[in-house]
Amino acid sequence: MDLTGRTALVTGGTRGIGLAIARTLHHHGARIVVTGRDEGHGRRALEALDAGDDVTFCRADATHRSDAERAVDTVVERYGHLDVVVNNVGGATDFATVADITDEVWHRTLALNLDTALYTTRHALTHLIPQRSGRIVTISSMEGRDPDPGLCAYAAAKHALIGLTRVLAKEVGPHGITANCVCPGAVETDWVTEQGPKAARVLGTDYAGLIRHFTGRTATGRLTRPEEVATAVLLLASNPGSGITGACIPVDGGTTV
């Protein structure tokens, strides 16, 4: 799965799953632009990747269309062309049931997970369609396939990403472009440790109970690792994955079997 000569944009690529994806793609030869909202996280990501000029950090908030478009253009300006787009920005900062969710939380969660992918993908297509090649990989979630109660906005957004990807695959397939989703199981990243206690309260438990809940849903008896998600992205970004499009690949330890 050699990506030598390819370029990639990894949104939200400074921590957690995004950083693991950037590391894996670069290890297999790609030059990368990673985005994030925090300059400090960006600097630490570049230090961790230790890839010199092959990796660039672009400060961007992908919930703003102009930032998302600028990130896409940065890849082309920096490396001459764009080959792979990984829509990894996502998450949630508040959790609630359908009966209790506020408009603000609903719209903020949809913007963070769904709008970001639309803005980035739509602008990327202005480069990918003319060159008649490209790979678009969007990080959804097991919650988009088999949701838990109390995560209504997050689950709705992740489910919507799957629908968006399936439509996109049919639209851009004739242009030599593939579009797929990867659906990770629970991964204990720093984001999960920060936001997990809020989700746990909605589920009527504590953080340790939340982790036991997610682990108990798996067939493997453990949480998903970031590098396992990154390996699925690598396949979809590579030549051996060229026959896969419109797919939703679970990397969740059998949670959604």
pLDDT(93) > 90 = no
Work out how many domains the chain is built from and give that number.
1
In the prediction, which pLDDT does 103 show? 97
Mean pLDDT computed over 174-181: 98
Question: Out of 158, 207, 238, 242, which one is annotated catalytic?
Answer: 158
pTM to 2 decimal places: 0.95
Structural domain includes residue 130? yes
In the prediction, which pLDDT does 74 show? 98
Domain that holds residue 23: 7-187+225-250
Mean pLDDT computed over 123-147: 96
* CATH number of 169's domain: 3.40.50.720
Mean pLDDT computed over 161-174: 98
Q: How confident is the model at residue 6 (pLDDT cuts 50, 70, 90)?
A: very high
Mean pLDDT highest for which of 91-100, 153-162, 187-196, 208-217? 153-162
Mean pLDDT computed over 139-151: 92
Instruction: Give 11-31 pLDDT, tens digit per residue.
Output: 999 999 999 999 999 999 999
Question: Out of 79, 119, 140, 154, which one is annotated catalytic?
Answer: 154
Structural domain includes residue 213? no
Structural domain includes residue 99? yes
Question: Out of 79, 119, 140, 141, which one is annotated catalytic?
Answer: 141
Structural domain includes residue 255? no
| Residue 119 annotated to the active site | no
Structural domain includes residue 112? yes
In the prediction, which pLDDT does 36 show? 96
Cα 110 to chain center, whole Å? 14
pLDDT(191) > 80 = no
Structural domain includes residue 192? no
pLDDT(59) > 90 = yes
Helix (H), strand (E), coil (C) string for the chain: CCCCCCEEEECCCCCHHHHHHHHHHHHCCCEEEEEECCHHHHHHHHHHHCCHHHEEEEECCCCCHHHHHHHHHHHHHHHCCCCEEEECCCCCCCCECCCCCCHHHHHHHHHHHHHHHHHHHHHHHHHHHHHCCEEEEEECCHHHCCCCCCEHHHHHHHHHHHHHHHHHHHHHHHHCEEEEEEEECCCCCHHHHHHHHHHHHHCCCCHHHHHHHHHHCCCCCCCCCHHHHHHHHHHHHCHHHCCCCCCEEEECCCCCC
Structural domain includes residue 206? no
| Residue 154 annotated to the active site | yes
Structural domain includes residue 230? yes
In the prediction, which pLDDT does 198 show? 83
